Structure 1
Amino acid sequence: MSSAITVAAENIGGIDSTEVTLEPGVNVLTGRNATNRTSFLQTIMAALGSRRSSLKGDADAGSVELSFDDEQYTRYLERRNGEVVFDGDPYLDDPELADLFAFLLESNEARRAVRAGDDLRELIMRPIDTDEIEAEINRLETEKRDLDQRLEELSRLDAELPDLEEDRVALEDEIETTTERIDELEAELDEFDLDVEASRERKEEIESAFADLQEARTELESIEYDLETERESYAELERERDELETDLEEVDDTQESPERLEGRVQELRSRKRSLDTTVSELQSVIRFNEERLEDDGFEFDLEESAEQSDDGDGDGDITEQLLGDSSDVICWTCGSQVDRERIESTLDRLRSLRQEKLDERSDLQEQIDDLSTRRKELRQQTQKRSRIETRLEAIADELERREQRIEELEADLEDQQKRVDELESDAETFEDAEYGDVIEAHRDLNRLELDLEDLEEERDEVQDRIDEIEAKIEERSEVEDRRETIEDELTDLRTRVDRIEANAVDAFNDHMESILSILEYRNIDRIWIERREKTVREGRRKVSRTAFDLHIVRTTEDGRTYEDTVDHLSESEREVTGLVFALAGYLVHDVYEVVPFMLLDSLEAIDSNRIADLVEYFEEYVDCLVVALLREDAEALSESYAYVEEI
């Protein structure tokens, strides 16, 4: 940065309109309170890309223009529906790093996190791109859980194999026994010999009759099986229909319309937006009046008063005027003297009104949430009712189709049973003394052949299941190898994250030690961050996560050293600790390479000499350092710095 910096702003913070020129290096904004120093810092933040700047309470639009090194950066702010919308062409596309560690106002997130005693890991690691690593860790953990479930399933299947093998062996033995008996019967029939040709023809007739009977019985069993399957399916559909009808009765049959609720929600949101605007305006009025009241309602011209004192025409010493006992203040709207209590009473009423509006806004939000929830429930119920009714129609059609099929199968069964009865009756005609043994042998053979078919079918099913399990179990080594590979990859990724976290913590600790040594803050000897593991619950699982705890070492008046926590620090000590942490973040993350500005505010917890040392230290890193100070806090700073007293 080699040229002067021009900042022009309208309606930002408490600023109506201003144009200020800054110089490269250190710029000191001095003056008493309520002189828009913080608003000017917010102006620079807005031009650089931050979204944490505020629009003037009584304005609907504002703008910022920042110029340096022949470049110009603009930002436009507009109030829409109770929210401030940003537009324009700022210096930074992503201001997150600068918001965290370069724009160090009192509202800075890093400073506030330390004051509140929050876990600092998220803040420290946010600028470090570990999202890709974390996403890969999550993906691998999910795959590992799937593989674990797969291995458990394979173990269960492996345990199922011995019983299946035992069943298969038993079926093989039974098939072998049945086959042997069939062979015996067939041999008996072959040995049966009739002497005359007519007898041989009679034997063929008997064998044909029993072959027809066997075929008819097989067909009868097939029809019985199909009929049983259809009846089971029919019964299952009836159960599903009954359950759906019960579910349908339980669905809220209210006549309330989701569209009507949507209209009500939009109406309430409109009222809430109006309240947001009112609350924002009230807050701006209250803040403005509080600042003016703190300054006694007027701006005193020190040089003019001094000249009046020298000429003997003044009303007394300046200090006496500033410290007078008068309870009146100069009204900043009409210029008359007004009793302070009247203004404070008005402010109290404004605060009460703002609180009432906040309560009303909360009530509206609760109504919006309730109506939105109800609207969602109604839509879900409507969708559920539609799904149930559609399924019930499909079930009715399916029941009708299956009922017809059952009737057809019952008729087929009746016809086939008659056919079997007729064939059995025909077979019985062969039962006389001469052919009794042959008839009995055919009956046994027929029964055994049917049994053999059933046994072989059952044996094949068991063998198919065994083959299926063995094929799956063959995958175990591959699954185990993949799981081991994932374990190695997870270990490597976690080690990488651990290393990144450890390096970040070490860097923060080193820089905090350096900054604290510059400040020579006697109340605090050391500040450091400890990285530790903690167990947290994510859904149903407990997982290990890292936390960054801030530790503080202090020394008592008698020289005893002890460790303390942020909770036990005074307000000023918390401010210093938060500032040290935020400044360390500026150095750790090389923020000066991202944005050429550094903004400092709210340094009242540090005396003038220490502020001077701090500014001198960071002057080496940043192109333009802008620090807002009270006049007394700026006394020790170098006269070579650029000073801005009017904004």
Structure 2
Amino acid sequence: MSSQESVTSSITVQAENIGGIDSTEVRLEPGVNVLTGRNATNRTSFLQTIMAALGSRRSSLKGDADTGSVELTFDDERYTRSLERRNGEVVFDGDPYLENPELADLFAFLLESNEARRAVRAGDDLRELIMRPIDTDEIEAEISSLEAEKRELDDRLEELARLDTELPDLEEDRVALEDEIETKTERIDALETELEAFDLDVEASRARKDEIESAFADLQEARTELESIEYDLETERESYTELEGERDELEQELEAFGDEQESPDRLEGRVQELRARKRSLDTTVSELQSVIRFNEERLAEDGFELDLEETVESDGETDDDITEQLLADSDDVICWTCGSQVDRERVETTIDRLRSLRQRKLDERSELQERIDELATRRKELRERSQKRGEIETRLEAIDDELERRAQRIEDLEADLEDQQARVDDLESDAETFENAEYGDVIETHREQNRLELERENLEAERDEVQARIDEIEGQIEERDELAGRRETVEDELTDLRTRVDRIEENAVDAFNEHMDSILSILEYRNIDRIWIERRETTVREGRRKVSRTAFDLHIVRTTEDGRTYEDTVDHLSESEREVTGLVFALAGYLVHDVYKVVPFMLLDSLEAIDSNRIADLVEYFEEYVDCLVVALLREDAEALADSYTYVEQI
């Protein structure tokens, strides 16, 4: 499989004081590289060297050295890592290939201590291991953000839909106003014609006519100004009333908040304290699990083996003494802490107590997480309420300032209105003095013309407002397609996020089952029909709550010599079968999490439990999915592999 981060050139590895290595320089090639040799020839140390250069911290410093280093070069790039012993701990530094090695440690660096292989051997939770690299908190945060954006888009699209229904009525209003304006204009033109028809040829009459026209022009201007003041005054009063209503609503909202007694900062401190306790519990649980697993392994091996020859030399025991030891009660084991014989039941009882303690710590950790979630939610609510309260108080201050300004404006307009009304009354009185028999028709025509022109101006202003509203709505509606497209994208992203965990679980199960079927058909293990994972929903308790969780159940189906099919357990698999199952599970994780896009290497070690021909088939199968596969094998196991591979016999 060609990976995004592929290897196209030779690989040079230089190392000093890593594992059991004093100093070495090894050249590898893309494809399969086989490290061959007897035991204790630093093959595993060399694999740890590659891991260190790639970014892993699961490498060791040589026991008699205080510093070590490794350099990895390929494709004209150089990656370095240094190790230094400080205060009893090994500190890593340098410029490795990976910043975060978690995926590689889980699914690419498949040494004996690899967690994926160990999980299968021990029957641990396979689902937890597959899902460990997934940051569910980040997914939930993304979902919340997209849900908020979707709500905003829905509100905006709903508003645009409402605006769209408003357009037909506005179009009707505009047409009606234009018709009315046209009617007014025709009537004004007719009055103009009538005025021109009046016979005022005498010079005195002309002067009188000019005087009359001037008086009515002044009156028309004064009436227009009066209506403008009345309009402004009405607008200010309406705005003042709306602001008062908004102020009342905000004051009611503010009263609803009451006096907050809790502080989000105090809750933050409590959350941090609980998280620190949870981290401490995580460490304790991990350490307990390591202790339990170590003791289980030692118990399974009946403790430590004793060197009988050394015992004879040091203690002077006779052959009879040795025979007595060999015939001792088989329920005793050799204690791996003090070297004495202890009853197996006592050790098992201690392990059971450790398991119980670990379970109590797990329950306590779940309760802590539940409390952290509750406090974090409350803290978020308090901060939102505080922010909302601050916004309301700021808006109230702005409204008070605006009310004061508008009250002053209303007072000024009322004074202007009173003055203007007096001016109009004076001009109307002056105009009445021109009314007589000779000029009565002229005066009346002027009055009608002035009234119609004022009405036409108002209609034109109203029409312009309607047209502006139409243009505004049409401009906003133009963005509807873009918003609808974005909403569809957000919906798809939400669906993807909400189903991402399920899809990863399903893909992991499918990948394991598919590759396991293929591997079993290639390796031809006797009486194993199938090894497969079933994904099922289960209910578990977290603190005081019961929640639904997914579990991975590993099934082994066998066939007896008489053809009868039955289901077996992992405990009954041979060591070879368990190792193959663990490697296939790691390969499933490698493919599901696209580890080949992160690191182009895969390392295999501790395959001695598998016979050489099956190792060859397994390496050939894995080769298809990895750019650079490095395998550590005994010389006799390596003989079954293809000659085309790169072989390294000296480290």
Deviation per residue, 1:190-210 (Å, 9 max, x gap): 333357655544443332332
Provide the rounded CA distance (Å) in 1 between the counterparts of 2:455 and 2:87. 87
C-alpha RMSD of the superposition: 6.3
Correspondence for 2:331:
327
Conserved in 2, the CA contact under 8 Å of 1:26 and 1:624? no
SS of residue paired to 2:632: strand
* Compared CA separation, residues 195 and 618, structure 1 to 2 (3 A): closer
Provide the rounded CA distance (Å) in 1 between the counterparts of 2:420 and 2:352. 99
- Matched positions, count: 545
Correspondence for 2:348:
344
| Unaligned residue ranges in structure 2 (runs of 5+) | 1-10, 27-33, 74-78, 133-148, 493-509, 534-554, 642-651
Amino acid corresponding to residue 107 of structure 2 in structure 1: L
Q: 94, 103, 115: which one pairs with 2:110?
A: 103
Correspondence for 1:212:
218
Q: CA deviation at 1:397?
A: 1.0
Deviation per residue, 1:255-303 (Å, 9 max, x gap): 3334433444444444444444444443343333333333323223377
Tell me if 1:455 matches 2:455: no
Deviation per residue, 1:551-582 (Å, 9 max, x gap): x999988999x9xxxxx885458975563465
Correspondence for 2:374:
370
Q: 225, 231, 241: which one pairs with 1:225?
A: 231
Q: CA deviation at 1:215?
A: 1.0
Amino acid corresponding to residue 282 of structure 1 in structure 2: L
Provide the rounded CA distance (Å) in 1 between the counterparts of 2:532 and 2:262. 60
Deviation per residue, 1:361-411 (Å, 9 max, x gap): 333344444334433433333333332222211211111011000111111
Correspondence for 1:192:
198
Aligned residue runs from structure 1 range 571-582, under 5 A? 571=570, 572=573, 576=580, 579-580=583-584, 582=586
* Compared CA separation, residues 92 and 597, structure 1 to 2 (3 A): farther
Tell me if 1:236 matches 2:242: yes
Tell me if 1:356 matches 2:360: yes
* Compared CA separation, residues 507 and 187, structure 1 to 2 (3 A): same
Amino acid corresponding to residue 401 of structure 1 in structure 2: R
Choose 108-117 or 281-290, whichever is displaced more. 108-117
Q: CA deviation at 1:221?
A: 0.9
Amino acid corresponding to residue 190 of structure 1 in structure 2: E
Q: 294, 309, 314: which one pairs with 1:288?
A: 294
Correspondence for 1:88:
93
* Compared CA separation, residues 288 and 625, structure 1 to 2 (3 A): same
SS of residue paired to 1:297: coil
Normalised by the length of structure 1, the TM-score is 0.62
Correspondence for 2:540:
none
Correspondence for 1:390:
394
* Compared CA separation, residues 269 and 586, structure 1 to 2 (3 A): closer
* Compared CA separation, residues 419 and 636, structure 1 to 2 (3 A): same
Aligned residue runs from structure 1 range 246-257, under 5 A? 246-257=252-263
Deviation per residue, 1:506-537 (Å, 9 max, x gap): 999998787545412356789999xxxxxxxx
Deviation per residue, 1:296-326 (Å, 9 max, x gap): 2322337779999xx98265679x93x9643
* Compared CA separation, residues 437 and 556, structure 1 to 2 (3 A): farther
SS of residue paired to 2:306: coil
Provide the rounded CA distance (Å) in 2 between the counterparts of 1:528 and 1:282. 30
Choose 382-391 or 209-218, whichever is displaced more. 382-391
Provide the rounded CA distance (Å) in 2 between the counterparts of 1:362 and 1:325. 43
Conserved in 2, the CA contact under 8 Å of 1:41 and 1:599? no
Tell me if 1:174 matches 2:180: yes
Provide the rounded CA distance (Å) in 1 between the counterparts of 2:347 and 2:277. 30
Conserved in 2, the CA contact under 8 Å of 1:329 and 1:338? yes
Provide the rounded CA distance (Å) in 2 between the counterparts of 1:419 and 1:427. 12
Deviation per residue, 1:36-65 (Å, 9 max, x gap): x9x989966853546574999xxxxx9995
Provide the rounded CA distance (Å) in 2 between the counterparts of 1:513 and 1:353. 39
Deviation per residue, 1:58-110 (Å, 9 max, x gap): xxxx9995769999854569999xxx997334864364457424426585559
Amino acid corresponding to residue 458 of structure 2 in structure 1: D
Aligned residue runs from structure 1 range 553-572, under 5 A? 571=570, 572=573
Conserved in 2, the CA contact under 8 Å of 1:98 and 1:595? no
SS of residue paired to 1:254: coil
Amino acid corresponding to residue 103 of structure 1 in structure 2: L
Provide the rounded CA distance (Å) in 2 between the counterparts of 1:285 and 1:117. 20
SS of residue paired to 1:87: strand
Tell me if 1:519 matches 2:532: no
Correspondence for 1:544:
none
Provide the rounded CA distance (Å) in 1 between the counterparts of 2:220 and 2:598. 96
Provide the rounded CA distance (Å) in 1 between the counterparts of 2:587 and 2:345. 42
Q: 12, 22, 25: which one pairs with 2:35?
A: 25
Conserved in 1, the CA contact under 8 Å of 2:106 and 2:586? no
Amino acid corresponding to residue 214 of structure 1 in structure 2: Q
Conserved in 2, the CA contact under 8 Å of 1:29 and 1:626? no
Conserved in 1, the CA contact under 8 Å of 2:236 and 2:410? yes
Conserved in 1, the CA contact under 8 Å of 2:116 and 2:585? no
Conserved in 1, the CA contact under 8 Å of 2:16 and 2:70? yes
Conserved in 2, the CA contact under 8 Å of 1:518 and 1:613? no
Amino acid corresponding to residue 396 of structure 1 in structure 2: D
Provide the rounded CA distance (Å) in 2 between the counterparts of 1:277 and 1:98. 19
Aligned residue runs from structure 1 range 486-497, under 5 A? none
Amino acid corresponding to residue 419 of structure 2 in structure 1: D
Aligned residue runs from structure 1 range 471-620, under 5 A? 515-521=519-525, 571=570, 572=573, 576=580, 579-580=583-584, 582=586, 594-595=600-601, 597-600=603-606, 608=611, 611-614=614-617, 617=620
Correspondence for 1:410:
414
SS of residue paired to 1:253: coil
Conserved in 1, the CA contact under 8 Å of 2:173 and 2:466? yes
Provide the rounded CA distance (Å) in 1 between the counterparts of 2:335 and 2:130. 49
Conserved in 1, the CA contact under 8 Å of 2:81 and 2:92? no
Provide the rounded CA distance (Å) in 2 between the counterparts of 1:42 and 1:75. 16
Q: CA deviation at 1:597?
A: 3.8
Correspondence for 1:313:
319
Provide the rounded CA distance (Å) in 1 between the counterparts of 2:332 and 2:276. 42
Correspondence for 1:437:
441
SS of residue paired to 2:338: coil
Amino acid corresponding to residue 25 of structure 1 in structure 2: L
Provide the rounded CA distance (Å) in 2 between the counterparts of 1:398 and 1:345. 79
SS of residue paired to 2:605: strand
Amino acid corresponding to residue 248 of structure 1 in structure 2: L
Q: CA deviation at 1:248?
A: 1.6
Normalised by the length of structure 2, the TM-score is 0.62
Deviation per residue, 1:166-185 (Å, 9 max, x gap): 65554444333322222222
* Compared CA separation, residues 196 and 589, structure 1 to 2 (3 A): closer
Choose 385-394 or 91-100, whichever is displaced more. 91-100
Q: CA deviation at 1:238?
A: 1.6
SS of residue paired to 1:338: strand
Provide the rounded CA distance (Å) in 2 between the counterparts of 1:316 and 1:639. 41
Amino acid corresponding to residue 334 of structure 1 in structure 2: C
Conserved in 1, the CA contact under 8 Å of 2:250 and 2:392? yes
Deviation per residue, 1:331-375 (Å, 9 max, x gap): 333333322222322333333333333333333344444334433
Deviation per residue, 1:85-142 (Å, 9 max, x gap): 973348643644574244265855599799989799999xxxxxxxxxxxxxxxxxx9
